A and B are shown apart, each in its own frame.
Chain A
Amino acid sequence: MIAGVCGGIGRRLGVDPVILRVVVVVLTFFSGAGLVLYAAAWLFLPSDQTKPSVLTNALSPTSTDRTRSVLTAVALAAVLAVAVIVVLGGGFVTGFDGGFVPGLLIAIVVVVALLVVRRDANPVSPPGQPAYGPSTAGLASTTAAPYASTSAITEPTVVTGSGAEPTVELGTRTGQQTGAVDPTLTMQRPSPTGAPAPVTSPMTAQWDPPFDQPPPPPYGSGQLPPPKPRRERSYLGLLTLSAMLAVLGVFALVDLSGVAVPIAGYVVAALAVVAGGLVLGAWIGRSRGLIGLGVLLGLALGPAVLADAVVGPGWRDWQNADDIRVAPRAPDELSPAYEFGTGSIRLDLTELDFEGEDVATMIDLGAGEVIVTVPDDVDVVVDAAVGLGDLIILDRRSSGFEPGDTFTDLGADGAGGGRLELSIDLGLGKVEVRRATS
């Protein structure tokens, strides 16, 4: 722990900070994204409920410890910049095989989640919530204290007691648990959502912990707090969701009418509508709640694209290839296309008499294994694409997400001796094209 970021976030979200630390460390090892995330959180998040973030402090002309904050902010920004360069550099050198894409995605998602939570953390208090007095503020500072001193064992206790508990019970309950619970049993303690919250609903209590509300400023200092503007009810979120449903319905109708719509098409359409609602919300109405939905859709896009790659748009028409073995002897015995859902296709062309001619075929498989054996002297042009898996074309191996390319090999005798054009499209699995002798 360096700046208590994990502990603070954990306290806010009601999550065990140990889990967050593990996530950060894992992300750091995989792609460096954890480091970026930690520095960003340090920079942008408020250091405590009542204090502004380091960055706000540095930019504010009225803050007391401005010089120190400016220094910290500059240093952190530098670390952030270096880490971003390292992460991006490593990711782009190795392309999809690198850890950049998932690592950065996760980092973005967590930052977004924090933004959304921070927005929800200071709305107008819902009716029925206990009033916040100076005692609450005192309690908040005492619960915050363990986070400042490194102690992974006592922290979960505070988390358990803080989020979902009404103010009145907070002190006693926290005390009981700290005394009673064996440190080794820390992880088995009930989650904060499971704790009783008689006054407000568990959700409200969790996302809106009592000490989120800053204590009322001391009155009589001459400065009255500005009156809170009444928020006008906004229908933009509802409008966007309705439009999204309508668009999805249209896509489903198109799909049913016979034009195949890829799975990712639905996701992207919904995402586009959400994007429109958000851009609109920048000027009229409020629509920040759509950010969470957009993130979910963005995350769903990856699996959707992968699913499209595996099953393909025409998957309904495909039958499964249990174990197809084809060994044609003449060019007209070779089918122009082999299309199957799942299974194994072995195409043995070693007995095929090319007679110096051009022969072409296509293999389209959803998931499974494609093995093509070609004669030694035939010129081979392979255009292969795999959604996810291995590609071994004439001893050249590539793997990962979306390996694919066009390969040309003239064989043992150079140009001539017949020519084979192979087009292979596999969603998930392994493609291998090999010479008869190798």
Chain B
Amino acid sequence: MRRHELDVVSLVFGLVFATVALLWPLWRLDLIDGNSLSWIPAVALVAIGLLGVTLSLLRSRRSADELERAEDEAGARLD
């Protein structure tokens, strides 16, 4: 398996599932109660969502730059 560019979707869902998997033992061992449990998914969703938005915007900007560069090169070749 080769290294590839960061796959945002994979990362975001991996983190979501990891959060859920981590919360259950904490709840089971009474380290957090039901009330704070209902807050944590919301906070986690906000954090993970913002991460996804940031990464996606960064990537979209980068691909726009690449497109521009490719067009410039094509134009230069035509000239």
Partner-B contacts on A (CB < 8 A): 59-62, 88, 91-92, 95-96, 100-101, 112, 115, 119, 222-223, 232, 234-236, 262, 264, 268-269, 271-272, 274-288, 290-291, 294, 297-298, 301, 305, 402
Task: Please indicate the chain A residues that have their CB under 8 angstroms from the CB of B21 in the complex.
Answer: 268-269, 271-272, 275
Q: Enumerate B25-79 residues with CB–CB distance to A below 8 Å.
A: 25, 28, 34-35, 38-39, 42, 57, 60, 64, 67, 74
Of B3, B18, B25, B60, the residue contacting A279 (CB under 8 A) is B18
Partner-A contacts on B (CB < 8 A): 1-4, 6-11, 13-18, 20-22, 24-25, 28, 34-35, 38-39, 42, 57, 60, 64, 67, 74
| Min C-beta distance of B22 to chain A, whole Å | 8
Nearest opposing residue in chain B for A274, CB measure: B17
**Across the interface, do A298 and B17 meet the contact criterion of CB distance under 8 Å?**
yes
**Across the interface, do A287 and B4 meet the contact criterion of CB distance under 8 Å?**
no
Task: Please indicate the chain B residues that have their CB under 8 angstroms from the CB of A272 in the complex.
Answer: 17-18, 21-22
**Across the interface, do A284 and B18 meet the contact criterion of CB distance under 8 Å?**
no
A112 vs B10: C-alpha distance in the bound complex, in angstroms? 11
Number of A-B contacts (CB under 8 A): 104
| Min C-beta distance of B35 to chain A, whole Å | 7
Task: Please indicate the chain B residues that have their CB under 8 angstroms from the CB of A61 in the complex.
Answer: 64
Q: Is the interface of A mostly helix, strand, loop or mixed?
A: helix
| Min C-beta distance of A58 to chain B, whole Å | 11
**Across the interface, do B24 and A268 meet the contact criterion of CB distance under 8 Å?**
yes
Of B6, B17, B42, B74, the residue contacting A88 (CB under 8 A) is B42
A101 vs B41: C-alpha distance in the bound complex, in angstroms? 10
| Min C-beta distance of A398 to chain B, whole Å | 12
Q: Give the residue among A281, A284, A286, A402 with the most B Cβ atoms within 10 A.
A: A281
Q: A62-B67, A115-B9, A268-B24 are in contact. List 16 more A-B contacts (CB 8 A).
A: A88-B42, A100-B38, A112-B13, A232-B1, A268-B25, A272-B21, A274-B17, A275-B20, A276-B18, A279-B14, A282-B6, A282-B8, A282-B11, A286-B10, A294-B16, A305-B24
